A and B are shown apart, each in its own frame.
Chain A
């Protein structure tokens, strides 16, 4: 017993010492799902791994996975802050208040909160990704490739980000086929391979011949492959699950942003910012255009380049809301506030948005 106590004391001592002596920047991340989801949390973890690969011994990393939103999140973030993390990426919307509360207690630690909007202290930044840019591109592609003129959309929850994606998709499709139809099914989960697969089958049975998803698992891609229709991937590159099926995938790529922010902490230039990056900032990355005729791939690449360079804005007017009222006038672009809180469909979506 005495021996154990001694070794514990020695251990505490060495841990204290390494903490003080080490000059490495400690980079931490906290995920809402398991890193094995091959979706949202997986991609954030890839970002953390990219930081480690880039800076090597200059950084140490730590992460927590499957941390539920709510009371657990605040404790987990606080434990990270106390363990000597210099910068903490909190990667779920539900961590917003917890992040700000802990940030208040630890003014020297930098906090990066994904997809939220609260920056109550100047050691909190927020960042998010303009996935809708990718959705506009795949909307165009869908309208070109589809024979039935109807696409299926497997949606998770009616939050602004998902609604934005649906609108961008239909706006992209309408540039090719003004009568393009979209069937939306809400599965009320981010991740349940079985349920997503059921939704995919349902949509195919109802006559869609192209499938897109805003849920995390690769199950819909597999169903599309099995039924011989085309599909778009989400979050990660799903080509392994549909070699002859995936047309492209909208990949979340956090590595550039994470490397940049960690670099800023290291050279002392870190400031509280709000980043909403898309193709231009390399936060959104399109997987290779595959399984489409050359001209479709070429046009998709051209659209991608136009959005990247800023010459094309997916939410440029004129845009009419589903109820027929005018949203954006011709020659104008949508306001960022409306985009952030989007809770309506544009014209062309048949279903009513669940509210």
Chain B
């Protein structure tokens, strides 16, 4: 664990030095612009617009980082051979993977928290005060982070055995599929092939369901999110990530470095 921690901190340091956190500047500008303009165009729903826009931006920016850095996590180290000296140390390959995963999740957590602060600042600017219902935003942001964790795990898995370009393709394909599981399940109302229906239905329960984490609309309207859902989503993201990381570790443990 101590060794995985060292890898994680180094991965975080790499992200920082590679100026990944500069995206925050973009986010801050977006929030400022929205906060200033929103009063003029959307009377009555200023805070709604700020919330939806803020949450969407947090999600999109997080996804971009998770996918684009995630797919290079292992591949880059193999390609540049930075991994060689490391693996000759008393570190197991799964510890390395876990560290890489933890490092990017840490980066995303820091980044997301900074964006969350920005969102609340913009909200405060528009509304001049915060309400209790605004706390729902925190849950929505937490869900986004859970979603990003799962995306990182998937990207890491693909990073173990394919080039970044293909890994981006695989990861985004799974992500998009994971958004449409609901449609897969209700397919029966429009199609008649029972085999296809059963297949899609089974798949819809096994694919990573990213729609689980989407409570943006509820959060924007300040509706309560049940505590059970918070717990279930947490367990879901954790369990699914563990599965994916196990597969990644199995794939990577026997991989020959070129």
A binds B: no
Task: Show the binding face of B for A, using Cβ within 8 Å.
Answer: none
